[in-house]
Structure 1
Amino acid sequence: RATLHGKLKEHDKALHILVHQLKDSSAAEEYCSWASASQDQSHRQNLFHQLLSVYLDPDVPGGAQTVAAVDLLNRNAEVFDAVRVLKLLPEEWSLPLLRPFLVHARCTSQVAVGLARAQNLQLQHDR
């Protein structure tokens, strides 16, 4: 059923089946990679954010899957938008759990700032 939903681009349903019925988080991550293989980066990011939301859904039997969510973030930090992630996370989570994710987000933002400064200097120099 998850494959059928995937082919119909019903990603949320496919992810719910993989995570909550089949209880296969690695298959859910592979699904996100497969479904975004020929798509742009924003589509890939949206799929992984959907998976994170599925993991964090407290309204399903068994509640949120904290360990799977933390593992997903720390293994795939480059895919996520840190601001969107921080808005999704429960307030009671401790920051050390997310250290690899947060360090990656900080480094990425520092690189982006450095590139913007270099581009600004180049534009000023070209004038």
Structure 2
Amino acid sequence: ARHGTRSPTKKRIRDLDNLSAHLEVLIRDVKDRHLSLERVPSWLNGWKSPWQGRLRGGELIRRGEEELYELGVRIRERFPSLFDEDYHPDIYPIKATQIPRASASAVAFGMGLFSGNGTLGPGHHRAFSV
């Protein structure tokens, strides 16, 4: 996988902010003209983007981390014979680009893949290279 679930990119955050502003203008116009709001879903009245005001975007979110971690766990459980050797980066290479969401995804995947096989923390994680 390239990366797990991420937040919207800065461009999409701007698009959502613009949509929110347009909806506000349209609903205000309907009210000012005393037109019926009956055909306008009530949730649109006062809707704001949940990403409003964010300066950054595109980062891996908690759900994305969990997705890749669980994917690593499922792969290890489904193919146990592939992971019976001790970890070595030449045997189990995990690669990622320098894009933060991709490298964070690779780390979450590796944590799931190698959890229970190390000595670090209560999850018995092990260090691995990306």
TM-score by length of structure 1 reads 0.28
In terms of fraction of residues, the more helix-rich structure is 1
User: Which structure is richer in relative contact order (CA contacts within 8 A, separation 6 or more)?
Assistant: 2
TM-score calculated relative to the size of structure 2? 0.28
